[in-house]
Structure 1
Amino acid sequence: MKSLSCIAVLFLLALTLPLAIASDPSPLQDFCVGVNSPASGVFVNGKFCKDPRIVNADDFFSSVLNRPGNVNYAPNGQNPPHTHPRATEILVVQQGTLLVGFVSSNQDGNRLFAKTLNVGDVFVFPEGLIHFQFNLGRTPAVAIAALSSQNAGVITIANTVFGSNPAIDPNVLARAFQMDANVIRDLQNRF
């Protein structure tokens, strides 16, 4: 009877273990050069990719960082609070000054981890946590971000909460945010 119980426990562990481990699946190809039209690509690992037989070195090259371009963050510009449900993000400041931060989960007390970054500084935003970037300076700021997933996803908090379609009942949000329902309706109308 005791051995039967051990077998049952092992069987249950074997069933639950794969459900407890989650990560991006390994790519099914060495690389995927994105294409603008599904008609001109091959469908691999959930993405439309350029046919690998016609990929060349120029597909992996860019000189865009050698010259001034569009500014990531204008003075007082921001990347509003958002989350990447499937990726950690790393951000490197190339120009200017950014206030960056993320908020831990409810379980960890919703703690704010924030830092002012200058040129050359690096900050990591853990996977799935709400984070932001804000240009504190009077001059433009430029940063480069990289994500740890080929399909990181992005959820912009205000757009999601106040701009859902159909709209979330204003009374639900009023109670959640401890605000008047008319204020919530006004916010929903802005999105």
Structure 2
Amino acid sequence: MEKSLSTILHVHLNLNPCKISALQMLTARYCIFIDIFLFSACCPGIATVSKTIAFLTFICLLAARVNGLVYKNPMLAQANDFSFSGLHVAGSTSNPSGSRVTPVTVAQLPGLNTLGISTARIDYAPWGINPPHTHPRASEILTVLEVSLMVGFVSSNPENRLINKVLQKGDVFVFPVGLIHFQRNVGYGNAVALAALSSQNPGAITITNAAFGSNAPIASKVLAKDVMSHVR
């Protein structure tokens, strides 16, 4: 007869109800591992109890981290885990690009973990740019809140087609995942935009930084040959 997980934990591992409840909560997100655990515990001829304990330990180690982040007991979650303050504050644009990104990813807002979304405020000085970059793990939808922006992205090889447009206040534009894109303030005064991204940790790769500022550096002969091959 099929045994429940709580029965197996109690009979085979001699765990009290409190520990059983905690382990069930930890393993709730790992159904495939629970199935294997049940199979092992119900069939001692195939897997010994000691192996079952080791496997359960493995499950718990997995459950301790989700997407590389420490898993917090839901019973201990607080409102602060799901809130972020500060997007009303303009970021400093006193830098060579004349822009500043204020991200709200899982690093700043732990409650985003496993939700697959994040956001960011972007400030632009007059004629400031958010230089060509990509988000390897997310698409982006950008809403202009103040002034005007010229935005665009480049399609993948071999076409490398530039899709660009000037956006006014209230306009929205989408950048597909992984494609190089940019923004430039073409209005009068400081511009502001709000980005929404389809990942809790979208990542960002600035093209010039990656090509010319990598650690360790890419050989200059490689870069020079590539650049010269594209000079028209």
TM-score bucket of the superposed structures, by smaller chain: 0.5 to 0.7
Name the aligned partner's letter for residue 129 of structure 1: L
Name the aligned partner's letter for residue 56 of structure 1: Q
What is the aligned counterpart of 1:167 among 217, 223, 232?
217
Residue 128 of structure 1 corresponds to 178
1:117 aligns with 2:138: no
SS at match of 1:178: helix
1:26-72, Cα deviation, whole Å (9 max, x unpaired):
xx59xxxxxxxxxxxx632222455433323344345645x553361
Comparing 135-144 with 47-56, which one deviates more in the overlay?
47-56
1:112-164, Cα deviation, whole Å (9 max, x unpaired):
00011111111000011000011112211111111111222211100000001
Name the aligned partner's letter for residue 82 of structure 2: F
Residue 81 of structure 1 corresponds to 132
SS at match of 2:136: coil
Name the aligned partner's letter for residue 129 of structure 2: Q
Q: Distance in 2 between matches of 1:62 and 1:86?
A: 22
Residues 63/153 of structure 1: CA separation in 2 closer, same or farther (3 Å cut):
closer
Q: Pairwise CA RMSD of aligned residues?
A: 2.2
Name the aligned partner's letter for residue 79 of structure 2: A
Residue 60 of structure 1 corresponds to 82
Q: Distance in 2 between matches of 1:53 and 1:143?
A: 36
Q: Distance in 1 between matches of 2:215 and 2:80?
A: 41
SS at match of 2:124: coil
1:46 aligns with 2:68: yes
Residue 9 of structure 1 corresponds to none
Name the aligned partner's letter for residue 70 of structure 1: G
Name the aligned partner's letter for residue 137 of structure 2: R
Residue 142 of structure 1 corresponds to 192
1:177 aligns with 2:227: yes
Larger radius of gyration: 2
1:72-118, Cα deviation, whole Å (9 max, x unpaired):
111111111000111101111111111110000113x1100001111
1:106 aligns with 2:128: no
Name the aligned partner's letter for residue 131 of structure 2: P
Residues 166/121 of structure 1: CA separation in 2 closer, same or farther (3 Å cut):
same
Residue 90 of structure 2 corresponds to 69
SS at match of 1:106: coil
Residues 169/44 of structure 1: CA separation in 2 closer, same or farther (3 Å cut):
same
Q: How does 1:143-158 map to 2 (within 5 A)?
A: 143-158=193-208
1:90 aligns with 2:90: no
Q: Distance in 2 between matches of 1:50 and 1:141?
A: 38
Query: What residue ranges of structure 2 are gaps of 5+ in the alignment?
Result: 1-28, 31-63, 93-122
